[in-house]
Structure 1
């Protein structure tokens, strides 16, 4: 399943059985990022009263961590390909 999940994620697809978990997982992740920035009650506060700089920091931190995670998944997948001798790098761009 892990290899299929990595391939699906690489193609921008969320497997059907995981779709119901996407929004709650992102909401939880967003609240964790806000808590790291000193806003532990982010899920209950009025975002309209929050300065855009603070909302931007939450979104920016989410993006940074998701990109870092994607890089790790891509690196893991690429290493697996190299170790298995399946080095399909595709066309040079």
Structure 2
């Protein structure tokens, strides 16, 4: 990617944003990490934000595997 380019994290299913936000807060609570109310993550430890994201991905993969095992939706 060229220097100065902007990247975007557009969701394929925009309605999923609310579910991802909820998942983020659930995972943070389970890990005992406080998410800043103002939405600025600059003062959080990288280890904490990485742990939240990593656990979110694990849950999403687990959900997808369970869905596929039940013969559910194809991705």
Same fold (TM over 0.5): yes
Which residue of 19, 28, 40 corresponds with 1:46?
40
Give the CA RMSD over aligned residues: 1.9
Shift of 1:42: 1.3
Question: Which 4+ stretches in 1 moved above 3 angstroms?
Answer: none
Other-structure match for 2:60: 66
Q: Which blocks of at least 5 consecutive residues in structure 1 are unaligned?
A: 1-13, 79-93
Larger Rg: 1
The whole-number CA distance in structure 2 between the counterparts of 1:51 and 1:77 is 40
| Number of equivalences | 60
Q: Which blocks of at least 5 consecutive residues in structure 2 are unaligned?
A: 1-11
Greater helix share, 1 or 2? 1
- TM-score (structure 2 length as normaliser): 0.69
2:62 is the counterpart of 1:76: no
